[in-house]
Amino acid sequence: MSTFYALLRNPQGALGLLIVTILLIVAIFGPVIAPNDPESFNFGSRFAAPSMEFPFGTDWYGRDLFSRILIGARSTVLLAILATVIGTGLGAIIGVLSGYLGGWADEVIMRLTDAIMAIPSLLFALMILAALGSSALNAVLAIGIAFAPGMARIARSVTLQVRALDYVAAAQARGEKLGWIVLAEILPNTIAPVIIEATIRVAFAIMTLATLSFLGLGAQPPSPEWGLMIAEARDHLFRSPWPVIAPGIAIALVAIGFNLLGDGLRDVLNPKTAD
């Protein structure tokens, strides 16, 4: 709880928290709030500018952009969080294990992750999608896997400090198994930096997911996924800018929100800057 109040006192953290909270509410309740069916056409009002009836305007089929953004929040944001959770979980376990084992095993695991990190994460995700086929869930999986090596590096470096501490030595002396020491002793104590990193990564995940959908490899039309909305709207940019602007601003806001929250958490959770 004290972390929470500290976060509220931190201007960046408070703003980030606000944006992310609103976003999560939209993601969860969006379909209830949305005034229109996101897929139904309105032949009479194609390319409408923002108005009372259509707060964000309409697209080339006359679909209500406001409703599409609200409903698209779920597929965009929740999927991005899911991708980050996969990447973080996978990366943290690999990193902690590698750091704790040390020596020969550490060398092998870290050189492997170095090799993977040499490939840009978008390219790596594209490679995975080429193998799995394109769908929204495969895109989430691809981003998760692509994120894992970076997380593993961070988790490992924290583990290197933690493993030298007495309670680890005590666990070893008690004769605990490897799995217990890694998951129950070390992992919880490396969690703060990992969470901060993960929060910032969510923003990257949203952008990567949007990029993949933009390239036609993630969500499928007519899904209101934000990246896909921009990709489809590009052809109509010169007739009406709203179908590009609305999801573009949404993506930017979310990315900023998660980045601010991550920065806030970093300040709050860091013992040196907390007070």
Partner 1 sequence: MTSPFNRRGFLKATAAGATLATMPGLVQMAQAQNIQPGGTLRLALNITPSVLNPMLSRLNSEYLLGELLYSGLTVLAPDMSAQPDLATEWSANEDATEWRFTLRENAVFSNGQPVTSADVAASFAKLLDPATAAPGSRNLGPISEVVADGDFAVIIRTASPYADLPVALTYPTAKILPASIVEGDFDSLMQTPVGSGPFRMAEYRPDDVAIVERNPDYFIEGQPYLDRVEVKSFPDAAGAAAAMLAGEVDILTEIQPTDYARIADSDGVTGLRSPSGRFLDVVMDCTVEPFNNPKVREALSYCVDREAMVELVAEGYGTPGNDSPVNSAYRYNDDAPLKSYDPERAKTLLAEAGYPDGIEIELIASTRPGYRSAMAVVLREMARPGGFDISVQTMDHPSYLDQVWKKGKFYVGFYNMQPTEGTIFNLLFTSGANWNETRWNNAEFDQLVLEADQTTDEATRADLYAQAQKLMRDEVPALVPCFFDLLGAQADYVENYVQNPRGANYALHTVALAADAPTR
| Alpha carbons 196 and 269: distance in angstroms, whole number | 9
In sequence order, what are the residues at sequence separation of 6 or more whose Cβ sits closer than 8 angstroms to the Cβ of residue 98? Answer: 105, 106, 109, 110, 152, 156, 159
Minimum CB–partner distance for residue 250 and partner 1 (Å):
21
Please identify, using beta-carbon distances, which residue of 99 and 243 lies nearer to partner 1.
243
Are 194 and 158 in contact by the 8 Å Cβ rule? The answer is yes
Which window, 66-74, 151-159, 213-221, 243-251, contacts partner 1 (CB under 8 A)? 213-221
Residue 114 makes contact with partner 1 by CB under 8 A: no
Q: Which of 73, 75, 91 is nearest to 195 (CA)?
A: 91
Residue 43 makes contact with partner 1 by CB under 8 A: yes
Residue 238 makes contact with partner 1 by CB under 8 A: yes
Please identify, using beta-carbon distances, which residue of 13 and 224 lies nearer to partner 1.
224
Please identify, using beta-carbon distances, which residue of 44 and 179 lies nearer to partner 1.
44
Residue 40 makes contact with partner 1 by CB under 8 A: yes
Residue 74 makes contact with partner 1 by CB under 8 A: no
Angle at 231 between CA 230 and CA 234, to 5 degrees: 80
| Alpha carbons 202 and 123: distance in angstroms, whole number | 18
Candidate residues 236, 248, 256, 269; the one interacting with partner 1 per rule CB under 8 A: 236
Residue 60 makes contact with partner 1 by CB under 8 A: yes
Please identify, using beta-carbon distances, which residue of 205 and 217 lies nearer to partner 1.
217
Residue 241 makes contact with partner 1 by CB under 8 A: no
Q: What is the crossing angle of helices 11-33 and 2-9, to 10°? A: 100
Which window, 1-9, 114-122, 190-198, 232-240, contacts partner 1 (CB under 8 A)? 232-240
Are 58 and 115 in contact by the 8 Å Cβ rule? The answer is no
Candidate residues 6, 45, 53, 134; the one interacting with partner 1 per rule CB under 8 A: 134
Minimum CB–partner distance for residue 217 and partner 1 (Å):
8
First to last CA, the chain: 16
| Alpha carbons 26 and 96: distance in angstroms, whole number | 35
Question: What Å distances lie between residue 64 and 36, 42, 67, 93, 225, CA to CA?
Answer: 7, 8, 6, 43, 14
| Alpha carbons 223 and 38: distance in angstroms, whole number | 9
Q: Which of 193, 201, 206 is nearest to 266 (CA)?
A: 193
Q: Which two tokens stand for residue 161?
A: 């400090």
Candidate residues 220, 253, 270, 273; the one interacting with partner 1 per rule CB under 8 A: 220
Residue 137 makes contact with partner 1 by CB under 8 A: no
Candidate residues 14, 61, 85, 126; the one interacting with partner 1 per rule CB under 8 A: 61
Residue 41 makes contact with partner 1 by CB under 8 A: yes
Neighbours of 15 (CB within 10 A): 16
Please identify, using beta-carbon distances, which residue of 31 and 221 lies nearer to partner 1.
221
Which window, 12-20, 69-77, 154-162, 219-227, contacts partner 1 (CB under 8 A)? 219-227
Binding site for partner 1 (CB under 8 A): 39-41, 43, 60-61, 134, 216, 220-222, 235-236, 238-239
